[in-house]
Amino acid sequence: MSNLDQIRLLHYAYMRFARDLDTRFAMLLRTGRLSKWYSQIGSEATTVAAGLSLRRGDVLCSLHRDLGAILATYLDPARTFPDFGFGEPDGLRPEPRELLYRLCCQLLGRGDGFSNGVERSFHYGYLDPSRGIRHIGMISHLGSMIPVAAGAAFALKQAGTDRVALNFIGDGGTSTGDFHEGLNMAAVWKLPLILVIENNRYAFSTPTSAQYAAERLSDRGIGYGMAAITVDGNDPESVGAAMTRAVERARSGSGPTLIEAMLGRMRGHSEGDDSLKVVPEAELETYMNEDPVPGYARQLDTAGVLDSELLARLEARISELVEEAVARAIEAPGPEVETAFRPALAPSGTLQLADELPTADADLLAEAEELEIDLSEEALSDPAPSDDAPSESPVADAAPLETYVEGIHQAMQEELERDDRVVLMGQDIAAFEGAFRITRGLWKRWPERVLDTPIAESGTLGIAAGAALLGYRPVVEMQFGDFISCGFNQMVNVIAKFYYRWQVPCPLVVRLPAGGGVGAGPFHSQNPEAWFAHVAGLKVVCPATAEDAKGLLKAAIRDPNPVVYCEHKFLYRRIKAVLPGPDDVFELGVAAVRREGTDLTMVTYGSGVWTCLEAADALAKEGVEAEVVDLRTLVPLDEETVLSSVRKTGRALVVHEAQETAGFGGEVVARIADQAFAWLDAPVKRVAYPDRPVPFAKHLEQALLPSTDKVLAAARELLDF
């Protein structure tokens, strides 16, 4: 048999394998042994051909219907189909029977599945670089994994390899914003990404005529400036040829490719949901007649590649493997209850996966002017103190004082010097040096690691996530903290959940210039920390001092978890201190007592620290000693420092700039009430921002902000109780 015929036979073997395994699980659904099944019947020619185009170490990003690509990526053909002439074992991938058993356990929710029962069906990830397998699974928000796949491609390119990332999406998922953001960034950065659209002409039940007006979805690739083609998705040879060209293009550094594979809708969105009824009967009959698995078998039979004896042997081998794996998985135990309580945050010191990865803009100037920031070189090199600046941190006489913003700058510079895996991403952070000039000088030193991004918060966060999974440590700057709302899904559904789902760390930092007090209006002044403190899997840091601005950012960059780093714009150039040295890395999750006291505890963070210190100074003149506790890190919360202080003073006042309803201070109040109630001599009070957006006029904003006078009034109420 010629080499070409061996390749054709291999395509059919995996297609038939995927079909038989899919059919077996559909039967399990009908007999009540499986709760949900998304059939991939009809997509085998596309997914198998795409999967077989990858080499060991390439990255596969799959969805519900990509079982064929998973089998083609996981299984060594020589060991899966012995005596069929598929070469020698690669000596790298695990034994096929064990992989199939784990896969079936995954699909049945058993403890031996890839996610140990935490994830359903194909939402799992299997990242084993030592075996040459890097498989990133899906989330239910279709399209969201395209930027993540682009991030994996970015990591492969950044490391200087010729590896590629392959991602799948359905026709419906191409309408999402992440489809645009991911592909646009992949094209701009010439990433080695291949996106295959499995166009079966219906999204759940919505026909393509109601989804897009273009003649072909591949035409969108042309608009992004990338190679694009539409192929017959029922023909593995046509898909394989397109994949070969796309892979060669990606490996040579020529950028991404969009492949639209036209398929027939042969099953509903999920088995038993009755969505197939929307396909007209005559159209459905056409798709059934074009079924790629029997169709390709007939083609190979006619070509003399697959005779009846060979087909019978192949079918027997596949049936043996499928039945053995399914039977073992059915009898396998479910996950231990303790699995539900496994950590959502990686412990400090958790290692990432082993890998070889080791001029002024007018709009920005306008925003800077709106925030009353002086962008002159003189101001940047030696910021002038403000009349309304909070008290400076105590420093040694001869030591130079540096600003909060300089602390952030130094932290990034030192971490870029220390660790080649650190990369900075954000809008206008390269040549322009950022809206607040925090990245000044960094692009000139590290042009390949300080990267301007398009205005695409979701796409940027997804790319950072994919890069982090493969060994990098991205630091993403949101130009203003408010803008992270455009990337909310990536933060809370993709990035935050990786460790709990797969026990794989995703170390990245998202810098949020947040907070008010500078007359910037409702879209540049929000305090979004509580949005993310509610989401398991994220750490949330809110530095108040220049020292912490540096030391906590260095800790965040080195942490194995995703960290939301809320830096307060009002403090940027108003706070000075002696900054920690290059080797001084603070610990996340440790609060600081900024002022000792015995009569009242003020618990706060961020800009509230300086408001409370000023209020405490005023109370001291009245003979009242207030203790000020700076949380520094909201997640993880240093509960013991807070409770110890409250138990000592008997009174607690919680202050935060974020809005009162569902603000993080409410969580602090609840924990004090729960664990320090017996020590309280008065109810716990809060001073927070009223439930309003931030008005533009400064005197209106000041009327709403937690001021020293408001803190004093609340403190006196507590003292008089």
Nearest-10 Cα torsion for 542, 543, 544, 550: -160
The end-to-end CA distance of the chain, in Å, is: 92
Cβ-contact 591, 605 below 8 angstroms? no
Q: What is the side-by-side order of every strand in the sheet holding 600-604?
A: 592-595, 626-630, 600-604, 652-659, 685-689
Nearest-angstrom CA–CA distance, 321 and 305: 23
Which letter, b or e, does each residue of 194-223 get, where b requires 16 or more Cβ atoms within 10 Å of its Cβ? Answer: bbbbbbbbbbebeebeebeeeebbbebbee
Q: Count how many Cα atoms sit within 13 Å of the Cα of residue 718 in the half-sphere of its side chain.
A: 28
What lies within 8 Å, CB to CB, of 496 at 6+ separation is: 344, 532, 535, 536, 537, 538, 562
Backbone dihedral angles phi then psi of residue 152, each to the nearest 5 degrees:
-60, -40
- Which amino acid is it at 460? T
How far, CA to CA in Å, does 428 sit from each of 155, 158, 285, 425, 440? 21, 20, 54, 9, 11
Cβ-contact 631, 605 below 8 angstroms? yes
DSSP-based helix, strand, coil % in the chain, nearest 5:
45, 15, 40
Which letter, b or e, does each residue of 20-46 get, where b requires 16 or more Cβ atoms within 10 Å of its Cβ? Answer: bbbeebbebbeeeebeebbbbbbbbbb
- Dihedral sign of CA atoms 409, 412, 417, 423 in order: negative
Q: Considering 135, 409, 524, 656, which one is annotated as catalytic?
A: 524
Q: Nearest 5°: CA angle at 658, between 627 and 682?
A: 40
Is 524 tagged catalytic? yes
Q: Which residues are paired to 136 by β-bridges?
A: 61
Helix ranges (DSSP H) in 471-607: 488-489, 498-502, 529-533, 546-558
- The first and second tokens of residue 75, run together, are 């299984």
Q: Which residues have a catalytic role annotated?
A: 524
